[in-house]
Amino acid sequence: MSPTATTPRVVIVTGASSGIGRATVARLRERGDHVVLAARSAEGLRAAELETDGLAQARGGGLALVVPTDVSDREAVAELFSAARKRFGRIDAVVHSAAVLAYGRFEDVPPEVFEQTLQVTLVGTANVARASLQEFARPGGGSLVVVGSLLGKIATPYMSSYVTAKWAVHGLVRCLQIEARSTPGVEVSLVSPGGVDTPVYRQAGTYVGLHGRPPPPVVTPEHVAHTIVHCLDHPQRDAGVGPANPITVAGFRVLPGVFDLLVTPLMKLGGLGRESVPATAGNVMSATPSGESTRGGFVGTRAAQTATMALSVGGAALLAVRRLAPRLPGVGR
Ligand SMILES: NC(=O)c1ccc[n+]([C@@H]2O[C@H](COP(=O)([O-])OP(=O)(O)OC[C@H]3O[C@@H](n4cnc5c(N)ncnc54)[C@H](OP(=O)(O)O)[C@@H]3O)[C@@H](O)[C@H]2O)c1
C-alpha cells in the first residue's frame, strides 16, 4: 500500500474541503499520492486542491481530481468511485471524513435537520463504505479509514443527532472490521478524535442560541490527519486522538452517575461559545463554502488551553457540588 516513486497511491478523501479531510489531502499530497477530493462544494474542493498543489509539485507531482459529491446520495457516491477509477485506473484507499451536526436539545432541533444529520453522517458512511468494499473486492484489496469521534463512545447534551449517528458509525465500522477478516487485503480502520480545531463548530446547525466550540484539550486537524495516513499503512481497530479521551470514556462507563452530573455544566463551559446566534441549520442541508478551511481558529497557546480546561473542570465540579450538596448528609441546608 505504501506509495513508491513510480506507483503513487490513489486515495479518495471525503470531506476534503474542510478541517480534518482537508488536512488529510495535504498530508497525502505531501507524500506524493494521487488524491480524489470529494465534498458537496466545488468551490471548497478547488480551494483545497490549489492550496496543496505546491506540496504535490515538491514531491514529484501527485495529481488531484475534484469530484463534487453528496455522500448522502448513494448514486453520487457510485459516480465518485467511477470517476476516480476512470481517471487513475484503480483506487487503493478511501478516507471518509464527511459529516455534519446540529446543536440543540433533541426536541428543539427540527426533525428534518435531525434526519439529514443522520443521512449525511451515518447513511453517508454506509454509502462510502459499501462502495469502498465493492472496489476493494478487486485484486489488490484496499484500505478504508473512517473518521468516527469520541462522541461515538460517550453521550453529551445538545448534540443528540451527532451522537446518535456516531454511535451507529462506530457499530458499523466494528461489523465491517470483523467481516473484513475473511477478505484478505481489505482493511478497515476507525479514527476517533476528541476536540479538533476545525471550522465544524461554526458550520454546524444550532438551536441552542450559541455556536459550539471544541472542548479542551484541542488537537490540530494536521495531528488527526497524521493518524489517518498512518492507519492507511498500519490499520487500527480504533485509533483515538486526544489526550483526555481514555479518561472521559472510562468516566462515562465506570461512573455514569458522576458523568451525567458533570457533562451538562462541562458542555456549557467548554463546549459552547459565548455569543448569541440565531437558530440556523448551518451546513446540514447544503454546503456553506465561505466557512470552509483547514483550521477553525480555536487553538490558543498550550497555557491558554490548560487554563480553559482547568476552569471548565473546576467550574463543573463546583456546579456539581452545589447541586449535590443538599442531598449529601451533613452538607447544605
Ligand atoms: N472537529 C472536531 O472536533 C471533530 C472531533 C471528532 C470527530 N470529528 C469528525 O471529523 C470529521 C471531519 O470533521 P471536521 O471537523 O473536519 O468538519 P468540517 O471542517 O466541517 O468538514 C466537514 C467536511 O464534510 C463535508 N461534507 C458535509 N456534508 C457532506 C455531504 N453531504 N457530502 C459530502 N461531503 C460533506 C464538508 O464539505 P461540504 O459542506 O462542502 O460538503 C467538509 O468538507 C467528521 O467525521 C467529524 O465527525 C471532528
Number of domains the chain contains: 1
Please report whether residue 70 resides in a domain.
yes
Domain that holds residue 135: 10-327
Q: Which of 36, 162, 198, 293 to mutate to test the pocket of ligand 1 (most atoms within 8 A of CB)?
A: 198
Residue with cell 428534518: 112
Please report whether residue 1 resides in a domain.
no
CA separation, residue 54 to residues 4, 47, 220, 260, 308 (Å): 19, 13, 21, 48, 36
Q: The C-alpha cell of 106 is what?
A: 433533541
| Cα–ligand 1 centroid distance for 163 (angstroms) | 14
Sort strands 205-206 and 102-103 into parallel, antiparallel or unpaired: parallel
| Cα–ligand 1 centroid distance for 328 (angstroms) | 44
Please report whether residue 2 resides in a domain.
no
Please state which of the ranges 96-100, 157-161, 298-302 shows the lowest mean pLDDT. 298-302
CA 16/CA 331 separation, integer angstroms: 54
pLDDT, tens only, 138-161 = 999 999 999 999 999 999 999 999
Given a cut of 60, is residue 3 above it in pLDDT? no
CA end-to-end distance (rounded Å), the chain: 66
Given a cut of 50, is residue 1 above it in pLDDT? no
**Known catalytic residue at 158:** no
Please report whether residue 333 resides in a domain.
no
Q: Across the chain, what does the average pLDDT equal?
A: 91
- Taking a C-beta distance cutoff of 8 angstroms, is the pair 96, 14 a contact? yes
- Check which CATH number belongs to the domain holding 102 and give it: 3.40.50.720
CA 268/CA 274 separation, integer angstroms: 9
**By C-alpha distance, which of 28, 67, 74, 12 is closest to 45?**
67
- Which position among 103, 162, 201, 207 bears the catalytic label? 162
pLDDT, tens only, 207-239 = 999 999 999 999 999 999 999 999 999 999 999
Q: What percent of the chain has pLDDT over 90?
A: 85
Please report whether residue 74 resides in a domain.
yes
φ, ψ dihedrals at 332, nearest 5°: 80, -160
C-beta 195 within 6 A of ligand 1: yes
Please report whether residue 128 resides in a domain.
yes
Task: Say which residues have a Cβ less than 8 Å from residue 181's Cβ, sequence separation at least 6.
Answer: none
- Taking a C-beta distance cutoff of 8 angstroms, is the pair 81, 327 a contact? no
| Cα–ligand 1 centroid distance for 322 (angstroms) | 38
Task: Identify the residue whose C-alpha is closest to ligand 1 atom 43.
Answer: 15
Please report whether residue 4 resides in a domain.
no
Q: Which of 12, 14, 20 to mutate to test the pocket of ligand 1 (most atoms within 8 A of CB)?
A: 20
Please report whether residue 75 resides in a domain.
yes
What pLDDT is stored for residue 58 in this prediction?
85
Atom of ligand 1 nearest to the CA of 195: 3
Rg (CA), the chain: 20
Neighbours of 87 (CB within 10 A): 13
